[in-house]
Chains A and B, each alone.
Chain A
């Protein structure tokens, strides 16, 4: 049954957005710890709609700018293009969109009304704390942040070096949150400036999001004394411009991401000879591969499969690290349990050693508080409610989850905010926290892979290693607009494709016949299988029941806006009103210019344009309507040209029945690599329409 009322075209769009939530996620979205709708925002970027891309990103991620620089992008690793050529460069695209939307973003910041008469104290302003603050402020709570450092951001400000995360970038995220009306207390260390009891007394709930602020050390001979530094204090010195004491040969013990930061920061402090030693082989190293590659480019040597035995000193001066050969790192159950060959040892020379073997939480401030810690000094909490052993005191982030990524900490922050909100409202928490574990679309089938054009990933721009090691300036520069559009165009739209309204489908088999990728399977109604669908949109205009919508890229959005796009047509105009539907893959971007009288409608693919869209443009007052496509083989989908042609021919027949010249609707093609070519073909078309005459309408819509 088609529901109680006649279909409202605008309502359609709202309906498909909700629909996306009930279907398997694209693998990129499923892999993201906060389920960012990657496909949606990459799709917006491809159409030049940067503000909308920003909205998609920011709606789930309060540390968006941070992630745009340092996220380990599990979305990219999950990208289905991996089985074709290379994954989408999602993180650089996110960076591009956020930078483009900077003004829009700034203008959106405003105070949020405090509607609840309750306040929450959040200890720690790292990714999880900041996220919780964001969410609670949005819910109308008064929030106070207690941060021990002079600046907000937690590890993001105090440990991640600025060549990876520039200060200004982090500040964008912080400003977004603070502008909502949050009380900030910096230089305020829990346990020193203020006690937990005080905080608990002042607020209706407290969130402890202090992270892992202590560095582990090694209980080996020689560790005491000058020349041996720990990771976090070293990085904090770097962050706050305090010159740490380094010699000429720095050796970093550790193989994780923090160790990379330490080593590369040391390089940038002028140390030419920076080396690393770790238990793991290159393949086993926990650090992200690209960080290792970049470090190696910067001249850092890594000694694999050696375990620290003792620090050799001559007097007080560090001479080097004695190491023994590692036989294995993990036991048969994949647990960390290194074994050594004590007979194989060597000395790695160094005058400064930085130990970067892991972090732990500083729970000293919980002494004599109702919040319990276990016998190993770890906080006691219920992961299903985020609550500690003390009522109203919650935990979030690495302090309880252990080391993880910034975005995973943000996910924890989201859950904590919901937990606190439910607690304050007196509702049940357990079972009501958001879950980010979602079903994902399965692998690309072989025969679909064969039909996807190969296109290499647009390379990122790094400063040459020597240049970048001379300072802490960001070593990666972002895509320019052409690059971003091209890279975004590589997205295959997983999950954004066609979906059938069962109430309208009568199993006519049209979609099954037309799909180049074999996505629809028709039984009593059509089901379009998301793992096959490439979101080209060819099926939707053919459906005689208009039962197919595109979850993303739906043309119904712009069909509704055609009247305002065309606007009021001046009956005394000199130039014809032209509506041009442009394929956004190469064309529909602000970078392209078109003649002034051409109203531009970028569409994901011209395959999605229906006869009804072309008629609507004419109905709204256009003198001529053009479908603008790329010439040649650059189309990213199969079989589009023939169908678009057939639809334009049909439209010509229909308008002929009204006595309109068939030449008012045309397909225009141009070479997609020549920026001016589109301007030229549109101008030529406009000239031909002018010759046909401007349509005088007696009755305006």
Chain B
């Protein structure tokens, strides 16, 4: 899922300090799972903002609430009228939610309460790792399920480079060398020989390098019209 983490309260305060009525608007899907922007964290941010406002003698009014997601309009449309009572919505959803809500919030600005970081998994409680590069052209079958695009710091397709040390990446000894992992995994799967094939130059246009992406499933296009008719 999408993993993010909260912005510092100083940064948030600087963003919001000139507004009079702020809603901290939480999202209870991905960002809640990574404990960054769910209802609970939204409440914490709201409380801290109120306390900061009190410290600064500001009359800012801050409340919080949340909906299940900010990335599907059916979830926030029912409360849109109430959202518009505020002069700023601080969305603690991921960047997707901020974008999406912002397009529908009319004259009310929507600011981000968290930094959206990566597509990741929950290794264990409170421990999230980036595992997918979102490149739009998945080749995990060639690398034993280990993403070379995002888990290799250099996105090598024919790694490793010379920087591997004790199985760790040259960038930091806390980062596993992805190609080290790939070699070990392919060994385990008995498919090490496959790595002898040179992976050709990639077509990056399926990723963000090709411009913002959009996927439309033709056979679902009429769904909402049916709902309205039916």
Interface residues of A, Cβ cutoff 8 Å to B: 1-7, 503-504, 506, 508-510, 513-514, 541, 543-547, 610-612, 615-616, 618-619, 654-655, 657-659, 697-701
Report the separation of the CA atoms of residues A612 and B78 in the bound assembly, to the nearest whole angstrom. 27
Q: Is the CB of B82 within 8 A of A6?
A: yes
List, in ascending order, chain A residues with CB within 8 A of B125's CB: 510, 513-514
Q: Is the CB of B57 within 8 A of A699?
A: yes
Q: Is the CB of A504 within 8 A of B68?
A: yes
Chain B nearest CB, measured from A660 CB (Å): 8
Besides A1-B74, A504-B66, A612-B43, 7 new A-B residue pairs in contact (Cβ under 8 A), listed by A number = A3-B78, A5-B79, A506-B29, A544-B33, A547-B39, A654-B9, A654-B44
Q: Is the CB of B55 within 8 A of A658?
A: yes
Q: Is the CB of B75 within 8 A of A1?
A: yes
Q: Is the CB of A545 within 8 A of B54?
A: no
List, in ascending order, chain A residues with CB within 8 A of B55's CB: 658-659, 697-698
Q: Is the CB of B44 within 8 A of A615?
A: yes
List, in ascending order, chain A residues with CB within 8 A of B39's CB: 504, 544-547
List, in ascending order, chain A residues with CB within 8 A of B29's CB: 506
| In the complex, chain B residues 49-66 whose Cβ is within 8 Å of any chain A Cβ | 50-59, 63, 65-66
A7: nearest chain-B partner, CB-CB: B65
8 contacts between A and B (CB under 8 A): A504-B28, A504-B39, A506-B68, A508-B33, A544-B28, A545-B40, A619-B50, A697-B55
Chain B nearest CB, measured from A363 CB (Å): 63
List, in ascending order, chain B residues with CB within 8 A of A508's CB: 32-33, 122
- Looking at the complex, which one of A513, A545, A618, A657 makes contact with B28 (CB distance below 8 Å)? A545
Q: Is the CB of A699 within 8 A of B33?
A: no
Q: Is the CB of A657 within 8 A of B8?
A: yes
- Looking at the complex, which one of A6, A510, A543, A619 makes contact with B51 (CB distance below 8 Å)? A619
Q: Does more than half of chain A's interface fall in helix, strand or loop, or is it mixed?
A: loop
Q: Is the CB of A506 within 8 A of B9?
A: no
Q: Is the CB of B47 within 8 A of A543?
A: no
Report the separation of the CA atoms of residues A439 and B39 in the bound assembly, to the nearest whole angstrom. 33
* Given A506-B33, A659-B55, CB of A619 within 8 Å of CB of B47: yes
Chain B nearest CB, measured from A238 CB (Å): 63
The total of chain B residues at the interface (CB under 8 A) is 39
Report the separation of the CA atoms of residues A2 and B78 in the bound assembly, to the nearest whole angstrom. 9
* Given A506-B32, A509-B122, CB of A544 within 8 Å of CB of B40: yes
CB contacts between A and B, total, < 8 Å: 107
List, in ascending order, chain A residues with CB within 8 A of B66's CB: 2, 504, 545-546
B139-167: CB near A (< 8 Å → 1, else 0) gives 00000000000000000000000000000
List, in ascending order, chain B residues with CB within 8 A of A503's CB: 68
- Looking at the complex, which one of A541, A611, A697 makes contact with B54 (CB distance below 8 Å)? A697
Interface residues of B, Cβ cutoff 8 Å to A: 8-10, 26, 28-29, 32-33, 35, 38-41, 43-44, 47-48, 50-59, 63, 65-68, 74-75, 78-79, 82, 122, 125
- Looking at the complex, which one of B51, B78, B82 makes contact with A618 (CB distance below 8 Å)? B51
Report the separation of the CA atoms of residues A569 and B12 in the bound assembly, to the nearest whole angstrom. 28
Chain A nearest CB, measured from B182 CB (Å): 29
Chain B nearest CB, measured from A549 CB (Å): 12
Chain A nearest CB, measured from B53 CB (Å): 7
B63: nearest chain-A partner, CB-CB: A6
Chain A nearest CB, measured from B145 CB (Å): 22
Report the separation of the CA atoms of residues A697 and B51 in the bound assembly, to the nearest whole angstrom. 9
A508: nearest chain-B partner, CB-CB: B33
Chain A nearest CB, measured from B15 CB (Å): 15
Q: Is the CB of A6 within 8 A of B79?
A: yes
* Given A618-B51, A657-B48, CB of A545 within 8 Å of CB of B32: yes
Report the separation of the CA atoms of residues A344 and B225 in the bound assembly, to the nearest whole angstrom. 91
Q: Is the CB of B38 within 8 A of A2?
A: no
Q: Is the CB of A612 within 8 A of B40?
A: yes
List, in ascending order, chain B residues with CB within 8 A of A510's CB: 35, 125
List, in ascending order, chain A residues with CB within 8 A of B79's CB: 2, 4-6
List, in ascending order, chain A residues with CB within 8 A of B68's CB: 1-2, 503-504, 506
Chain B nearest CB, measured from A80 CB (Å): 30
Report the separation of the CA atoms of residues A544 and B32 in the bound assembly, to the nearest whole angstrom. 5
B59: nearest chain-A partner, CB-CB: A699
Q: Is the CB of B48 within 8 A of A654?
A: yes
Chain A nearest CB, measured from B187 CB (Å): 32
* Given A546-B39, A698-B54, A701-B54, CB of A615 within 8 Å of CB of B47: yes
Chain A nearest CB, measured from B38 CB (Å): 3
Report the separation of the CA atoms of residues A544 and B40 in the bound assembly, to the nearest whole angstrom. 5
Report the separation of the CA atoms of residues A508 and B75 in the bound assembly, to the nearest whole angstrom. 19
Chain A nearest CB, measured from B118 CB (Å): 17
A614: nearest chain-B partner, CB-CB: B47
List, in ascending order, chain B residues with CB within 8 A of A2's CB: 66-68, 75, 79
List, in ascending order, chain B residues with CB within 8 A of A655's CB: 51
List, in ascending order, chain B residues with CB within 8 A of A1's CB: 68, 74-75, 78
* Given A506-B29, A509-B122, A657-B10, CB of A615 within 8 Å of CB of B58: no
Report the separation of the CA atoms of residues A616 and B10 in the bound assembly, to the nearest whole angstrom. 19
* Given A4-B78, A509-B122, CB of A615 within 8 Å of CB of B40: no
List, in ascending order, chain A residues with CB within 8 A of B63's CB: 6
Chain B nearest CB, measured from A658 CB (Å): 6
Report the separation of the CA atoms of residues A610 and B57 in the bound assembly, to the nearest whole angstrom. 27
A654: nearest chain-B partner, CB-CB: B48
List, in ascending order, chain B residues with CB within 8 A of A701's CB: 50, 54
List, in ascending order, chain A residues with CB within 8 A of B26's CB: 545
A507: nearest chain-B partner, CB-CB: B33
Q: Is the CB of A699 within 8 A of B53?
A: yes
B37: nearest chain-A partner, CB-CB: A544
Report the separation of the CA atoms of residues A644 and B13 in the bound assembly, to the nearest whole angstrom. 28
Q: Is the CB of A612 within 8 A of B44?
A: yes
Report the separation of the CA atoms of residues A396 and B229 in the bound assembly, to the nearest whole angstrom. 57
Q: Is the CB of B47 within 8 A of A616?
A: yes
Chain B nearest CB, measured from A642 CB (Å): 13
* Given A615-B47, A658-B48, CB of A506 within 8 Å of CB of B122: no
- Looking at the complex, which one of B40, B54, B75 makes contact with A546 (CB distance below 8 Å)? B40
Chain B nearest CB, measured from A249 CB (Å): 74
List, in ascending order, chain B residues with CB within 8 A of A616's CB: 47
List, in ascending order, chain B residues with CB within 8 A of A611's CB: 40, 44
List, in ascending order, chain A residues with CB within 8 A of B44's CB: 611-612, 615, 654
Q: Is the CB of B78 within 8 A of A658?
A: no
List, in ascending order, chain B residues with CB within 8 A of A514's CB: 125
List, in ascending order, chain B residues with CB within 8 A of A3's CB: 78
| CB-CB nearest 3 A-B residue pairs | A544-B38, A544-B32, A508-B33
A621: nearest chain-B partner, CB-CB: B54
Chain A nearest CB, measured from B81 CB (Å): 9
Q: Is the CB of A546 within 8 A of B38?
A: yes
- Looking at the complex, which one of B28, B53, B75 makes contact with A547 (CB distance below 8 Å)? B28
- Residue in A506, A547, A615, A654 whose Cβ sees the most chain B Cβ within 10 Å: A506
